[in-house]
Amino acid sequence: MDNRDNNDKPGKPKVDQPSRRKFLINTGYVLGGAVVGGAIGALARKPLAPAPAPAKPSAPAAAEPRNFNRALMFFNQEQFGILNAAVERLFPADENGPGAKDLGVAYFIDHQLAGDYGFNARDYMSPPFYAGEKVQGYQGRLKRREIYEIGLREMDNYSQAQYGKGFAQLTGDQQDAVLKAFESDQVKLTTISASGFFRQLLSNTLEGAYSDPLYGGNINMAGWTMRNYPGNQMSYANIIDKDFTKMPPSSLQDHMTAH
C-alpha cells in the first residue's frame, strides 16, 4: 500500500501482469479457499463477465452466513460493474490466490467513497484554487467521489470510442489497453488527470486487497493469507526468539473477544 493517492510519481510498477505475484508461495491458502476457491480457476483466464452483479457462488456452503456488507452505498450498478472489472485487471486472480473481485475490492472502494474519505472531509478543500507544482500535491477542487464518477465514465467512453463496447464488456486484453491508456495519459481529459485517476484506482485497489476485512475488502483475510501475512497479532513475544513461524492471520475483529 505504498502508492496511495493522486500525487505519486508516475510510472508505477505495472501490476496487471498475472506473473507479478509468482514469487508468492501459496501454502496457507485455506480460509479464502473455502469461499471462493471454486471460482478462481474459472475466473483466472476467462474474459470478464459483462454482468455488473458480483460473482456469487451458485451453491454456497450450507453454513455460510450471509454477508450483508455486500451492497452499495455510493455507486450505481453500472459504475460498480465498470469498477469491479477494472480492479480485477489490476489485481487478477491467478494461481497464487483470489483477485480483487473475490476479495471484495470494489465494495471496499464503494464504502470508502460513501464516507469522509470520498468527501475529502479531512483534506483542506477551500478556495482559492491554483494549479500547483508537482511537489505541492493535489490542488484540485474535485472530491474523490467526483473523481471516481468522472474517471469511470471516461473509461467507459474511451472503451466505446475504441472498441464500440462498454468497459465491462471488453476482453481482458482490451481492458488492459484502456487502463494503460489512462495510466500513461494517452487519454486526454479536461476535468481530471487520467493518470492521476489511474493511480488513485490502483492505490485503493491495493488498500482493498490488504486492509482489515472490517472495511469490506480482503474478504476472510484471503489477501493476507495469500501472502502469509499474519494480520494484526496482539503480540509476537512468545515466538520472537524462535525460527520463522507460520500462523493463521488475525483481524481486528479477533481483538473484540481477546479480553
Partner 1 sequence: MAKTLPKVDVVIVGVGWGGGIIASELTKNGLTVVGLERGKERKTEDYYMVHDELRYALRYELMQDLSKETVTFRSNEKIRALPMRQYGSFLIGTGLGGAGVHWNGQTFRFLPYDFQIRSKTAERYGANKILRKCRFRTGALRTTSSNRTTINSRKWSAFPANRTRLAESAPPVTRRRR
Query: Given the rule CB under 8 A, which residues bind partner 1?
Result: 1-2, 4-9, 117, 120-126, 130, 132-133, 135-139, 207, 210-212, 214-215, 231-233, 252, 255
- Most distant CA pair in the chain, distance: 60
Q: Which residue, 16 or 207, is less far from partner 1 as judged by CB?
A: 207
Spatial CA neighbour of 44 closest among 18, 24, 20, 22: 18
User: Residue 8 CB, nearest distance to partner 1 (Å)?
Assistant: 6
User: Residue 232 CB, nearest distance to partner 1 (Å)?
Assistant: 3
User: Residue 215 CB, nearest distance to partner 1 (Å)?
Assistant: 6
Amino acid at 49: A
Residue 204 grid coordinates? 485503493
CB atoms within 10 A of CB 140: 17
User: Residue 151 CB, nearest distance to partner 1 (Å)?
Assistant: 17
Q: Which residues contact 236 (CB under 8 A, 6 or more apart)?
A: none
Q: Which residue, 65 or 127, is less far from partner 1 as judged by CB?
A: 127
Spatial CA neighbour of 210 closest among 21, 10, 17: 21
User: Within 13 Å of residue 221, how many CA atoms lie on the same side as its CB?
Assistant: 19
CA trace torsion 109, 102, 94, 28 (10° rounding) = 110
For residues 213 and 84, give the distance between their C-alpha atoms in angstroms, rounded to a whole number: 18
User: Residue 238 CB, nearest distance to partner 1 (Å)?
Assistant: 16
Q: Can you say whether residue 151 is alpha, beta or left, with left for phi > 0 and alpha for psi between -120 and 50 degrees? A: alpha
